[in-house]
Structure 1
Amino acid sequence: MSTHQQALVELLEREKSMVVDGWLQAAAGPNAPAKMRAEADEIFGAFLPAIQSADAQNSGSAAWQPVKAALERLSASRAAQGSTAGSTSAFVLALKQPIFEALQRELASDTQALIDAIARVSLYVDALAQWTMDAYQRTREQLIKRQQEELLELSTPVIKLWDGVLAVPMIGTLDSSRTQLVMESLLQRIVETESSLAIIDITGVPTVDTLVAQHLLKTVTAIRLMGADCIICGIRPQIAQTIVHLGIDLNSVTTKATLADALALAMKRNGYIFTKTK
């Protein structure tokens, strides 16, 4: 470690409490929440050993891993709270101000040493801010992906209509990933409920093309391989015309116009007879 580097580390060690206080003041004002102080303490506590290590100039070294881990936790927490990437990065960049002030007090009589120290600290803190942005982006992507998966699950519920009869009301556009999710959920529920018949209601599907039809046929085939049968309902006149024009063969699949018709057929197949009372 160089003499200037050693001097910087010793200064930050000595002024640690004052630097963290100044950081919080610059980032959030006098009423910084306790959670923010804990985050600042963790990041700064990992930052000091990193800059005094033999690999301080190598941001990919093991010495910097605790700092990166702390920044990832900060980014994950801020992303979950709805903070922006800019505000999260700005919090990290606010660390510069108290460090510069400490350097100014320490090196006021040595202009060149002050300039060198400021340049070195800027490189370090800028790297922290960049890592924070990267970690925030990864966290947001993971969060969005998880939310999309949860929305898919909510948009394709498997409903038990009667003993041995399940239904899946499908709404929106069908694609490969969504069809796979529907298939997995439906097959699992068939096993759990020992159902013999599943109804796929596509009333809420806006359009049916060759790809959508193939997805539906694959789902029907998978259901039959599980020992159950399937009825597709909700085929509107426009969709029926589209299927005919595309030359899609659904002759092997039982279809009904409405969910009520499909349920009536399912009950009949299961041996139920209903009569209307006066």
Structure 2
Amino acid sequence: MSTETSGQLASIIIDHHDSLLERWIAGMLSHLVRRDRSAEEAIRQQASRFLPLLAETTKNGQIQDIEAANWAEARHLLTEICQARVRQGFSSIETAMFMFSLKEPLFGHLRVALGNDAHKLAEQTVATSALFDKLGLFTIEVYQKTRELVIQRQQQELLELSTPVVQLWQNVLALPLIGTLDSARTQVVMENLLQKIVDTGAAIAIIDITGVPTVDTLVAQHLLKTVAAARLMGADCIISGIRPQIAQTIVHLGVNLEDVTTKATLADAFIVALQRTGSSISHAHHGK
């Protein structure tokens, strides 16, 4: 895009700022799936901030490459807007329309300004369209990266929530596992358990797998790694929830659990833990 062409674009944005802004906002609102006051206000604020910056950026003619230094501030603002839209619940299409919706209003003003020069009109239209396509693709890329980070953070939070370590008794911890035990979750399990051992000084940790649907070689290896890590921190482990079918599977797989205490239920494991720590529970008998 030539300096003259980009200067024409900047002039149109400056001279017709208000009408461009209103038509741009109307175009974005027409593509909204969820219309409410907060979404509309967010769109208006974002457009009002970006339009003057777009005019300033396109003044000097260096707009063939939006990765160039003169586009740094515009890229930063677009990134900020995309990240905000992820948090506000906008879709990727609604986010991309932030740039694409500005095309038609601009083309309308270009036709009025350059209607007598077909060659310049065609040149300006093609160049402007290419610019906004690049900006639109940039918003989609930023939106996707931001969304991926949000999903990763949510998955991490879910992993942490799904592996609670609770203190059953003095020196006795319990880690009830529910669902599939994969490598990522095993890491979270170990980190949470070891931190709790450090915090409480517990001597026994009961790992309950009643809620684990299947135990294969990989799951068994993950369990053994967790047991080994706990032992290094000075705590012994008891694995509870060993159902008949799981016991058969472990034997069939040839997994060595000989040096690990296993029990059928959490209650049985708790009794063993109390015995090892020198504690006991007495039943009070009340007379009539």
Compute the TM-score of the two structures, normalised by the length of structure 2: 0.91
Work out the CA distance in 1 between the residues paired with 2:233 and 2:53: 55
Work out the CA distance in 2 between the residues paired with 1:191 and 1:252: 23
Report the counterpart of residue 115 of structure 2 in structure 1: 108
Report the counterpart of residue 11 of structure 1 in structure 2: 12
Report the counterpart of residue 152 of structure 2 in structure 1: 145
Letter in 1 for 2:284: T
Q: CA deviation at 1:54?
A: 4.9
Quick one: structure 1 residues 273 and 3, their matched pair in 2 at CA, closer, same or farther if it must change by over 3 Å?
closer
Q: Deviations over 1:18-55 (max 9, x none)?
A: 211221122216x8722211111222233223323353
Asked if the contact 2:179–2:213 (Cα under 8 Å) also holds between the matched residues in 1, the reply is yes
The counterpart of 1:188, out of the listed 170, 184, 195, is 195
Work out the CA distance in 1 between the residues paired with 2:130 and 2:136: 10
Letter in 2 for 1:106: A
Quick one: structure 1 residues 182 and 246, their matched pair in 2 at CA, closer, same or farther if it must change by over 3 Å?
same
Once the two structures are superposed, the pairs formed by residues 47-58 of structure 1 within 5 Å of their partners are: 47-58=54-65
Report the counterpart of residue 221 of structure 1 in structure 2: 228
Asked if the contact 2:242–2:263 (Cα under 8 Å) also holds between the matched residues in 1, the reply is yes
Work out the CA distance in 1 between the residues paired with 2:53 and 2:242: 61
Once the two structures are superposed, the pairs formed by residues 16-95 of structure 1 within 5 Å of their partners are: 16-28=17-29, 33-95=40-102
Structure 1: stretches of 5+ with no match in the other structure: none
Work out the CA distance in 2 between the residues paired with 1:206 and 1:71: 46
Report the counterpart of residue 34 of structure 2 in structure 1: none
Work out the CA distance in 2 between the residues paired with 1:90 and 1:276: 69
The counterpart of 1:267, out of the listed 256, 271, 274, is 274
Report the counterpart of residue 143 of structure 2 in structure 1: 136
Letter in 2 for 1:9: A
Compute the TM-score of the two structures, normalised by the length of structure 1: 0.94
The counterpart of 1:235, out of the listed 235, 239, 242, is 242
Task: Tell me the secondary structure at the aligned position of residue 227 of structure 1.
Answer: coil
Task: Tell me the secondary structure at the aligned position of residue 200 of structure 1.
Answer: strand
Task: Tell me the secondary structure at the aligned position of residue 168 of structure 1.
Answer: strand
Percent of aligned pairs sharing the same letter: 47
Work out the CA distance in 2 between the residues paired with 1:113 and 1:54: 16
Q: Deviations over 1:207-226 (max 9, x none)?
A: 11111111111111110111
Letter in 1 for 2:139: T
Q: CA deviation at 1:111?
A: 2.2
Letter in 2 for 1:16: H
Work out the CA distance in 1 between the residues paired with 2:5 and 2:231: 75
Report the counterpart of residue 256 of structure 1 in structure 2: 263
The counterpart of 1:203, out of the listed 210, 230, 236, is 210
Structure 2: stretches of 5+ with no match in the other structure: 31-36
Q: CA deviation at 1:90?
A: 2.0
Work out the CA distance in 1 between the residues paired with 2:244 and 2:165: 25
Q: Deviations over 1:149-202 (max 9, x none)?
A: 111111111111112111111011111111011101110111111211111001
Letter in 1 for 2:269: A
Asked if the contact 2:9–2:55 (Cα under 8 Å) also holds between the matched residues in 1, the reply is no
Asked if the contact 1:49–1:63 (Cα under 8 Å) also holds between the matched residues in 2, the reply is no
Asked if the contact 2:92–2:144 (Cα under 8 Å) also holds between the matched residues in 1, the reply is yes
The CA RMSD measured in Å over matched residues stands at 1.8
Q: Deviations over 1:117-143 (max 9, x none)?
A: 111111111111101111111111111
Query: How many corresponding residue pairs?
Result: 278
Letter in 2 for 1:91: F
